[in-house]
Structure 1
Amino acid sequence: MTKNVLVTGGNRGVGLEIVKGMLSEGYKVLMACRDEDAGEEAKKDIVGGDLHVIEMPLDNESAIVDAFTRAEAVFGPIDILINNAGVLDDTSWDEVTSESFNASMQVNVYAPLTLIQQTLPKMIERGFGRIINVSSSYGSFNESLAGPFSYAISKAAVNALTVKMASVVEKAKEEKELDVAVNSMTPGWVHTRMGGKNAPKTPEEGADTAIWLATMESDVPNGKFFKERKEIAW
């Protein structure tokens, strides 16, 4: 049976390349977008594959749950969740407000958590699942949280979320045999609207590791952080 993949922020940049890559691997892909029209526009350029656009605003928990519930009712359970959507607020630390900081946390951390809450228990119940959280080297303590204030802290929180959810999987494995994994990855500096025109990597190159983790069939890691298919330090 074809597995279902949900990709947030799937209508442009790295997310769009993840969508294309998963389609080429034969998966049914649900392209979750803030605006359905933007998703339908992106879909026009994709030839072949089982692709469906889902309008899913990430700025509100109940809206996320409602959109997810409707999608699952129509297309069935989600086997692979790729939390790709993100926002980059480059406001300096001394000008960040609680409101602007919370906006970054909502999209970059709270929305992935909400979707993990919707998917992970069912993945554990069925015995299969992949969750990939798209993070950033800017959120790495090993690299001194080098990015803009809100972005770096929110991406560090994404990595913490990955570690905690992976521990849930490990605990569940004590009870039953599972093929479930939760990992983080960084696309690197990618030439997208977020990354800017000077970035050296293409969106396709940025998407590669997420697709690799999503489609891995053996020796699947759990609770790790990857860049260019190699584990890196948190």
Structure 2
Amino acid sequence: MARIFITGSADGLGLLAAGALIAQGHQVVLHARNKERGREALAKAPDAQTVLIGDLANIEDTIQLAEKVNALGSFDAVIHNAGVYYYPAPELLAVNTLAPYILTCLIKKPKKLIYISSDMHESGHAKLEYFDKVIGKITYSDTKLHVLLLCKAVARKWPDVYVNALNPGWVPTKMGGRGAPEDLNKGYETQVWLAGSSDEKVKVSGNYFYHKKPVSYNPQADDVLLQERFLSTCDKITGISFS
């Protein structure tokens, strides 16, 4: 049995992944941005260990969320699932980029780290120069490239942790919309597999998965100098250093 923390697990793919992992016998801690959504999440996943509250659009809230996670002890896996789409650039950057950076830096090292990216990252650009003046400049695609840059940097620096990212596909969640063409179950099965399985195929690092298979990705993510600039920029904006 693994202990797993999932950000953004009050609904959508995060909640579905939580339910699947709980059904497999794992101990899951949920996350919601406010108390009301937290109560709703626990009502939908009553066998979860607990739910932690923190608004990832706020840096101080995100720091406090990391402290709450650490207060529960160590985790076998952390799934960085939380994300927003139809939001202004500052919220996109805060939730999709800075929050996973902060939580990665501050949460005690798990055995596995899983980051949710998107195939839209392929048209993204780092745009590091806009991190402190993001109005109208940072897009969803950019933030999903940031997630992959973070994944690649952490995988390179932490060889003792299995660190991977994935594309869940365009599936019919609240974010994806009812008309999304892909299978909803396929949207969460890869993160469930990476976090909860003892399969030898998950004992890898630095991969980008789609439907449990490594696939190609934007080559910018492999640029070590860009990874280092990304980490330094996040450090400058948040005041939190990656070690």
Asked if residue 165 in structure 1 is aligned to residue 162 in structure 2, the reply is no
Q: Provide the C-alpha distance between the structure 2 equivalents of 1:10 and 1:131, rounded to a whole number of angstroms.
A: 16
Q: Provide the C-alpha distance between the structure 2 equivalents of 1:209 and 1:194, rounded to a whole number of angstroms.
A: 18
Tell me the TM-score normalised to structure 2 length: 0.77
Q: In the alignment, what sits opposite 1:183?
A: 164
On the 8 A contact 1:4/1:76 being kept in 2, the answer is: no
Q: Provide the C-alpha distance between the structure 2 equivalents of 1:156 and 1:15, rounded to a whole number of angstroms.
A: 20
**Paired-residue identity, %:** 29
Q: In the alignment, what sits opposite 1:39?
A: 38
* Structure 1 residues without counterparts, runs of 5 or longer: 91-99, 171-177
Amino acid at match of 2:101: L
Q: Provide the C-alpha distance between the structure 1 equivalents of 2:18 and 2:2, rounded to a whole number of angstroms.
A: 13
Asked if residue 133 in structure 1 is aligned to residue 115 in structure 2, the reply is yes
4+ residue segments displaced more than 6 Å: none
Q: In the alignment, what sits opposite 2:62?
A: 64
* Structure 2 residues without counterparts, runs of 5 or longer: 126-137, 218-243
Q: Provide the C-alpha distance between the structure 2 equivalents of 1:159 and 1:211, rounded to a whole number of angstroms.
A: 19
Q: In the alignment, what sits opposite 2:235?
A: none
How far residue 208 of structure 1 moved from its aligned partner, in angstroms, is: 0.4
Asked if residue 84 in structure 1 is aligned to residue 81 in structure 2, the reply is yes
Q: Provide the C-alpha distance between the structure 2 equivalents of 1:65 and 1:223, rounded to a whole number of angstroms.
A: 25
On the 8 A contact 1:59/1:103 being kept in 2, the answer is: yes
Q: Provide the C-alpha distance between the structure 1 equivalents of 2:15 and 2:6, rounded to a whole number of angstroms.
A: 9
On the 8 A contact 1:166/1:223 being kept in 2, the answer is: yes
For these two proteins, the number of residue pairs brought into alignment is 204
Q: Provide the C-alpha distance between the structure 2 equivalents of 1:152 and 1:164, rounded to a whole number of angstroms.
A: 19
Asked if residue 226 in structure 1 is aligned to residue 224 in structure 2, the reply is no
On the 8 A contact 1:167/1:223 being kept in 2, the answer is: yes
Q: Provide the C-alpha distance between the structure 1 equivalents of 2:43 and 2:85, rounded to a whole number of angstroms.
A: 27
Q: Provide the C-alpha distance between the structure 2 equivalents of 1:67 and 1:155, rounded to a whole number of angstroms.
A: 22
Q: How large is the RMSD of aligned CA atoms in angstroms?
A: 2.1
1:154 paired residue among 139, 143, 146: 143
Amino acid at match of 1:212: W
